[in-house]
Structure 1
């Protein structure tokens, strides 16, 4: 292997233990002529990666209490796509428990280094990782740009030249075929490599094709065989559970994910799926325990969300009558703490209403009817005052809580109103000046739409400052509306592109991007947001 040229490589060091932090920084400085960036604080990392494209990230795992750990940081960087496939990420840790290692590996660090280690060993790992990145650079670039045909062509070139990364190339090629719905070509690769070591992806692929063909029995057999042969290969549990769900065998799906979370208890996404299945199956005690783990693990991470507290309270309300009064009060206090923290972190009125109503349900379960009644009255007062400023999904959830509290007339009124709104609202495309598929409400729909249309007119008239003002006004009405945020982001970037002195526009654009990092690939706005992130980085000179 030829020597790696590190002279122009950008390094980021993340470690809150100062001696280790200083050693890693000195090591990086000995390799590169570029400035080596370093931080002791996990909260800085995503913002730093948005501002600069790093070639190497040396990531400590344990970053201190009340901070994200290395796994959570890597997960956020992967989900938000602020780092590309070209970036080498090496996790450095003293902890080697199975749960921690499995959770970290699911987010694909390029290497995993256990303490104590030598700088010679680190350098060796780094050389190996960068050699692979350089050899696969064009392929990774094509994947990042979602050019599947080019990816296949480049993989074919690499295979023809006897690449040392043949197995990974075949996995990439088969995934492109699968995504292009060229299932026969994908199946040929899967079948040829299903018995090879380190090719679990081939068996997973065969199972996915069986699922696509509605051959559920075959899919179930395939995924079960993977679990039997490779019990620590976690995706097989996810796909087996999905197979059961598609057959409406939710109990089996729950049991499958229960095995998975026992092996790897730190995966928030899988844990949440398990909790949801327990809730749907009315296994409220299991759901409550799982949602509590979700809340604790998600706190201060990209998965932190109001629903974590809400679902814990809902599931607890489903079974707390079976607890002793002392235990029920203890569990209630946990729920009240979560709901209080939710209200501090999220100011939207619908969450405050839900907090009041769910608290009332929990209080009724311990026969504290007087305080429960006061909570209901607070929730209803807030609902009557702010109803026109609440989206239909939240109204539906509020109606469900009211039904559980035997406020059936009020719940029926809300649901009738929701059905009328859904019938009257047409879906929007999310282009500039239009709303996306989120359904809005009454008078505020008209106000927001008017502001958006006005913003569109100003944008097309090149009146960017006025367009930004109009869209910010719309955002004040609906602070959580992703379509409005994306429209505003587009105008801000265009404004800065036309006038580089308007740095405040680029600053606000960055805030919006950071606020939208958790948007999933399944979301209809994902591809547009990805383009906006790329444009931001181009304008910021990254």
Structure 2
């Protein structure tokens, strides 16, 4: 009698011929070749597309069972980026399979393609029989895992766990894959001990690099970084090109204070897989945490190039890249870097302008915020402040209407400007998923803990707090002294100017004969006149202005 597996394969071979196949390749000769192969295998529902742009439009209206995507699609998005888009937008049915095909058999190309987890990867040239067997294997895998994958796509984690346990109980060839899926869920739910248990059960049967990787992550979450390092090294001994093992190893090394060792681990991984976006982002995050802005901007430049046509990712990466250029220039205290900053930022913006400006993204506002930050870095705080507030004035009354990319860039600009209180207020408006974004988190943390900006902020806060204390106690002369100091430390800070105005107004109301105080009051009001303010600042400014004009107008007559 035929076995259950052979019966399953026979069924698949018959049902496979009814599958709708799409081939995306910019080379007409390959389209003709693979179409002939597929027709010889019995397929009849074959669609040929030539570019990622054409494919995006088609996939909005139609779904397929088998996607054969060439890695290199000529100008524009590559096949990997197209696949990432399809997955992110959930345009691929759960039972469909995606193959990445490439004529480049270099290790870096293969690892780059595999990072996005296609169902399979094939290198040109391949035979008709190889294609048949690989399609059969991928479809068979999808069929066996379908209940679990369906629950996974529906984000029904409890059902995913149930289906994984069924597959493990059947001692399926996919048992360890399901153990890793379960471990991933447990780690997301901070159930590291349960993850550790399910992984050890698998390792008791046989050694596995993937089980070791997840066991390293589980022990890492439990705080045992030394044990995590041991497990991750074991994973790398089994699979030396396992990029994720390098990434998690670097996290543990950083956690035990081995910062240089961590960066060396990541750079070793980049040597293996230079086109890995995850690696370059992790290096950027790590370097930002160490205030190594030069290395951070190098990694972000590479990441920006890798994501050049990935419109959804570009704004955050571009903003982070500009951020690193600015902080590097400020901290270098080198006139060359400051003077060259405008050119560098303009170049970065122009590289992404065409890909972003035609999509649902406010590139005009984003660009103006970046230019405002350049002016601040070059010491032109009034111009930078005016440009920043002017470009965001339509949003500041309702920051929740900002896109997360515009909002995050505005927060960084406010911190750079010295508008610390307003930046704190805006940060509370970040969407939860954006607030947890590791790259943005490191950008915000880097500017909050930057030596130059931190010293300025601490001095401002100290003077401002002393001024508020003195004002509360009725010592107006001392309050004015401290508020003047606060404004010198943060000359663009609106709160400092408003506090100084309030102290001057109170003193002038007591001592109207002191002409120099009235002059200073008038000058301070003039500085804020016409400058866009946030709603709370605007209300306070208008009130102080009304009270001040009552003193200043008689003087003018």
Query: What TM-score do the two structures reach when normalised by structure 2?
Result: 0.63
One of 5, 17, 33 as aligned partner of 2:27: 17
Alpha-carbon contact 2:202-2:211 (below 8 Å) kept: yes
Q: 1:158 offset after TM fit, Å?
A: 4.4
What is the CA deviation profile of residues 134-162 of structure 1, one whole-angstrom value per residue up to 9, with x for unaligned ones? 33333333433344554455455545555
**Please, which of 238, 244, 255 is the counterpart of residue 247 of structure 2?**
238
CA–CA distance in structure 1, aligned partners of residues 164 and 368 of structure 2: 54
Residues 344 and 151 (structure 1), Cα distance of their counterparts in 2 relative to 1, 3 Å cut: closer
Question: Does the alignment pair 1:354 with 2:405?
Answer: no
2:103 aligned with 1:94: yes
- Separation in 2, partners of 1:246, 1:64: 42
Does the 8 Å CA contact 2:186/2:194 hold for their aligned counterparts? Answer: yes
Please, which moves more after superposition, 155-164 or 301-310? 155-164
The structure-2 alpha-carbon separation of the partners of 1:46 and 1:324, relative to structure 1 and needing over 3 Å to count, comes to same
Determine which of 284, 298, 303 is the counterpart of 2:307. Answer: 298
Pair 1:135 & 2:144 matched: yes
Asked whether the equivalents of residues 11 and 36 of structure 1 are also in contact (C-alpha less than 8 Å), the reply is yes
Q: Does the 8 Å CA contact 1:78/1:107 hold for their aligned counterparts?
A: no
- Which residue of 65, 83, 86 maps to 1:77? 86
Aligned residue in 2 for 1:337: 347
Question: Does 2:241 match 1:263?
Answer: no
Equivalent pairs counted in the alignment come to: 413
Deviation sequence 1:17-52 (CA, Å, 0-9, x none): 001012223333444666322210112334544544
Label 1:54 to 1:251 Cα distance change in 2 as closer, same or farther (>3 A).
same
Paired with 1:300 and 1:63, the residues of 2 have a C-alpha distance of: 12
* Partner residue, 1:64: 74
Distance 1:292 1:118, change over 3 A: same
Structure 1 window deviating more from structure 2 (332-341 vs 17-26): it is 332-341
Deviation (angstroms), 1:200? 1.7
Q: Greater share of helix residues, 1 or 2? A: 2
> Do the aligned partners of 1:190 and 1:206 also contact (CA within 8 Å) in 2?
yes
**Where does residue 119 of structure 1 map in the other structure?**
128
- Residue 355 of structure 1 deviates from its aligned partner by 2.0
| Structure 1 residues 286 and 123: alpha-carbon distance in aligned structure 2, compared to 1, 3 A threshold | same
Distance 2:65 2:431 in 1: 42
Residue 168 of structure 1: CA displacement?
Answer: 3.1
Change beyond 3 A, Cα 1:10–1:336: same
Query: What do the CA deviations read for 1:467-497 (whole angstroms, capped 9, x no partner)?
Result: xxxxxxxxxxxxxxxxxxxxxxxxxxxxxxx
Between 42-51 and 242-251, the greater mean CA deviation after superposition: 242-251
Cα distance change, pair 48–315 in 1 and its aligned pair in 2 (3 A): same
SS in 2 for 1:59: strand
1:39 pairs, out of 43, 49, 54, with 49
Unaligned 5+ segments in structure 1 are 429-542
User: Equivalent residue for 1:401?
Assistant: 413
The structure with higher relative contact order (CA 8 Å, sep 6+) is 1
Q: CA deviation at 1:133?
A: 2.4
- 2-side partners of 1:22 and 1:357: how far apart? 53
Q: Which 10-residue stretch deviates more, 220-229 or 67-76?
A: 220-229
Deviation of the 1:94 alpha carbon = 1.0
Q: Structure 1, residues 365-408: CA drift from partner, whole Å, max 9, x if none?
A: 9xxx7xx976665444434565325458756754643664xx54
Give me the whole-angstrom Cα distance separating, in 1, the residues matched to 2:394 and 2:88: 37
Report the alpha carbon displacement of residue 115 of structure 1 after superposing the two structures with TM. Answer: 1.6
Deviation sequence 1:299-331 (CA, Å, 0-9, x none): 111553323222222212233475987887777
Give the alignment's Cα RMSD to 1 decimal: 3.8
The residue number in structure 2 matching 1:435 is none
Which 5+ residue runs of structure 2 have no aligned equivalent?
Answer: 1-5, 433-557
Change (3 A) 1:427 1:344: closer
Separation (CA, whole Å) in 1 of partners of 2:241 and 2:165: 31
Partner Cα separation in structure 2 for residue 76 and residue 359 of structure 1: 33
| TM-superposed deviation, 1:197 | 7.0
For 1:138 and 1:386, locate their aligned partners in 2 and report how far apart those are by CA, in whole Å.
45
Cα offset, 1:77, TM superposition: 2.6
Instruction: Say if 1:155 and 1:275 are closer, same or farther in 2 by CA, change over 3 A.
Output: closer
User: Does structure 2 retain, via aligned residues, the 8 Å contact 1:187–1:206?
Assistant: yes
3-state SS, counterpart of residue 219 of structure 1: helix
Alpha-carbon spacing, 1:377–1:21, altered in 2? closer, same or farther (3 Å) = same
Q: Within 5 Å, give how 1:407-422 maps onto structure 2.
A: 407-408=417-418, 411-412=419-420, 414-415=422-423, 418=426
Question: SS of the residue aligned with 1:282?
Answer: coil
